[in-house]
């Protein structure tokens, strides 16, 4: 897929715009998480560090969301096609913010220790390493799995890469981009919901994370737009004449099954979230 060539000045202005947008999103996410009600006495590191790596991660996901929705929206509404080339800048700055998120985790959480990165610590009493935080290991392993894909996508986001790889370029980007999306959706659900609940053995309440339902909604919207664009493309490709009810039902059925996993996942999370204890005052009388 060959993008229309742009002058260096236009490309620079685009990158400056997306860089400014990225910085603004990181700042706003940081402010929102910095004021989320954390008590420093209970969570001494969360007043600065925790909001910072969240801010990079969630701002990066917004750029990924924009990259994934521009294509199907352009298929559904042709005037949007003029903005398709912006996916390149969104993808590159998605990588930049992802690397920023990874660096903050490495510097502020792991403290430049490989064991700490995976929730492992050395205990002198036992003379061995102990897995203290398995959920941290899971999250960071998923991050390490997806990071090379993100870097590869960014490094091949150029006309030179398109010309070099030919038709395989589209396969590469489509495959990796969707793999990145689904891995990050699973990682986000684990982090935003499962890892911050009132549960044994600590029985500790955590402040609510407002981005959870926004995140789930963005995931559903991505796959819904992709499914709608798929259905429109298939039906238009079969000609402009009337389609049989069976043809329409088959195409719609495929589209629904494509969306269903994300809808079921989001629905399960919303259902569970509605049934879990979230207010510490409910336990005061115990």
Flag whether 3 is in a domain.
Answer: no
**250 in any annotated domain:** yes
Query: Phi/psi zone of residue 37: left (φ > 0), alpha (ψ -120 to 50 degrees), beta?
Result: left
Give the residue numbers spanning the domain of 237. 8-276
pLDDT at 267: 97
Share above pLDDT 70 across residues of the chain, in percent, rounded to a whole number: 90
Q: How many CA atoms lie within 13 A of 139 on its CB side?
A: 24
User: Is 286 inside a domain boundary?
Assistant: no
Q: Which residue has the tokens 């990145």?
A: 180
Residue 170 lies in a domain: yes
Give a yes or no: residue 282 inside a domain: no
> How much is the pTM?
0.91
What does the pLDDT read at residue 127? 86
Residue 89: inside a domain, yes or no?
A: yes
Q: Is 171 exposed, middle or buried (0-12, 13-18, 19+ CB in 10 A)?
A: exposed
- What is the token pair recorded at 257? 């099954």
Mean pLDDT of 64-71: 97
pLDDT at 4: 45
Q: What contacts 184, CB < 8 A, 6 or more positions away?
A: 61, 64, 146
Q: Is residue 115, in this structure, part of any structural domain at all?
A: yes
Span 149-178, pLDDT tens digits: 999 999 999 999 999 999 999 999 999 999
Greater model confidence, 62 or 5: 62
The answer as to whether 2 is a domain residue is no
Residue among 66, 48, 45, 53 at smallest CA distance from 26: 53
Domain count, the chain: 1
Q: Give the model confidence (pLDDT) of 15-59 as tens digits.
A: 999 999 999 999 999 988 876 555 555 555 565 788 889 999 999
């Amino acid at each position: 897929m060959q993008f229309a060539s742009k002058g260096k000045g236009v490309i620079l202005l685009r990158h400056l715009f997306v860089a400014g947008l990225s910085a603004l999103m990181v700042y706003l996410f940081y402010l929102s998480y910095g004021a989320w009600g954390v008590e420093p006495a209970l969570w001494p590191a969360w007043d600065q560090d925790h909001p910072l790596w969240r801010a990079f991660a969630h701002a990066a996901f917004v750029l990924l969301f924009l990259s994934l929705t521009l294509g199907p929206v352009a298929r559904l509404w042709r005037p949007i096609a003029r903005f398709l080339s912006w996916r390149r800048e969104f993808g590159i700055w998605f990588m930049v913010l992802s690397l920023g998120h990874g660096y903050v985790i490495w510097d502020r959480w792991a403290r430049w220790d490989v064991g700490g990165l995976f929730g492992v610590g050395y205990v002198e009493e036992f003379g061995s390493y102990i897995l203290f935080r398995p959920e941290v290991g899971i999250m960071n392993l998923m991050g390490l799995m997806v990071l090379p894909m993100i870097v590869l996508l960014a490094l091949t986001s150029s006309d030179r890469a398109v010309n070099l790889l030919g038709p395989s370029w589209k396969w590469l980007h489509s495959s990796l981009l969707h793999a990145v999306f689904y891995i990050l959706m699973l990682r986000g659900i684990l982090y935003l919901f499962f890892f911050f609940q009132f549960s044994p053995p600590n029985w500790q309440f955590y402040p609510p994370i407002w981005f959870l339902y926004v995140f789930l909604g963005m995931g559903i919207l991505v796959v819904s737009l992709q499914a709608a664009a798929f259905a429109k493309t298939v039906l238009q490709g079969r000609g402009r004449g009337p389609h049989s009810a069976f043809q329409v039902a088959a195409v719609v059925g495929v589209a629904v099954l494509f969306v269903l996993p994300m809808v079921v996942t989001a629905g399960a999370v919303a259902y569970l979230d509605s049934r879990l204890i979230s207010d510490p005052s409910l336990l005061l009388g115990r």
